[in-house]
């Protein structure tokens, strides 16, 4: 089984062969740098994936990175504490899962164009993802987004 442990940050494991592969799981503390680290981990996963499963669309890679960025940003801003990012590939789709500590589901907010307060993320994810679901957990929630690859 080809397993790589990504270094230079939180605990991350990238499986490129074997049962349940390709798959990435990365645990983050939710503090400064988490969003960039999650994006870098997702980029490494997608680059490895493209070597065996080339994306069908020219925007596929960037769309997955955008969804990862938005979901992790939401978790950092609205759910204090650690979070987990998982990426998996199956049947022509990349599944992005973010697990955080807040049981409340994401909800659209009025976009704030003046003060930079956000409000764009959830609607972007809704537009890009083929399928989107939120699963309550005893200690938070999981958000699952499925994107074409």
Residue closest to 93 by CA, chosen among 64, 51, 72, 59 = 64
- pLDDT tens-digit readout, 83-117: 999 999 999 999 999 999 999 998 776 766 666 66
Sole residue written with tokens 């409000």: 119
Considering the entire predicted model, what is its pTM?
Answer: 0.85
- Averaged over successive runs of 10 residues, the pLDDT of the chain (149 residues) comes to 44 61 89 94 95 94 98 93 95 96 84 66 92 94 97
Angstrom distance (rounded) from CA 52 to CA 34: 28
pLDDT over 90 for what percent of the chain?
68
């Amino acid at each position: 089984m080809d397993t790589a442990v990504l270094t230079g940050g939180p605990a991350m494991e990238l499986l490129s062969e074997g049962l349940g592969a390709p798959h990435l799981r990365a645990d983050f503390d939710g503090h400064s740098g988490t969003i960039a680290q999650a994006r870098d981990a997702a980029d490494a996963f997608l680059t490895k994936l493209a070597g065996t499963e080339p994306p069908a669309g020219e925007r596929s890679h960037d769309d997955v990175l955008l969804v990862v960025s938005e979901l992790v940003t939401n978790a950092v801003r609205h759910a204090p504490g650690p979070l987990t990012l998982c990426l998996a590939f199956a049947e022509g789709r990349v599944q992005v899962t973010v697990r955080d500590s807040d049981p409340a589901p994401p909800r659209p907010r009025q976009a704030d164009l003046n003060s930079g307060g956000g409000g764009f993320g959830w609607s972007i994810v809704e537009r890009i993802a083929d399928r989107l679901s939120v699963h309550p957990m005893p200690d938070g929630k999981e958000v699952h987004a499925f994107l074409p690859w």
